[in-house]
Amino acid sequence: MAQLGCDHVQEFGNGKPMPFEKTLDWMATHQNKLNGMPKIGRQARP
């Protein structure tokens, strides 16, 4: 979703509701998963 321009999302598809104290750990884990995903979009031609 971030690659499509969404800065904020709220849904069960990303994560279940959790206490604030667990949010930073969840975000770090989620970011590590995203780093291995292929990029969506086209590259500009010269």
Give the pLDDT of residue 26: 87
Which letter, b or e, does each residue of 26-37 get, where b requires 16 or more Cβ atoms within 10 Å of its Cβ?
A: eeeeeeeeeeee
Could you tell me the pTM of the whole model?
Answer: 0.45
User: Could you state, in chain order, the average pLDDT of each consecutive group of 10 residues for the chain (46 residues)?
Assistant: 71 76 87 76 68
Give the pLDDT of residue 45: 66
Give the pLDDT of residue 27: 86
Give the pLDDT of residue 1: 67
Give the pLDDT of residue 34: 76
Give the pLDDT of residue 36: 72
Q: Provide φ and ψ at 37, rounded to 5°.
A: -85, 145
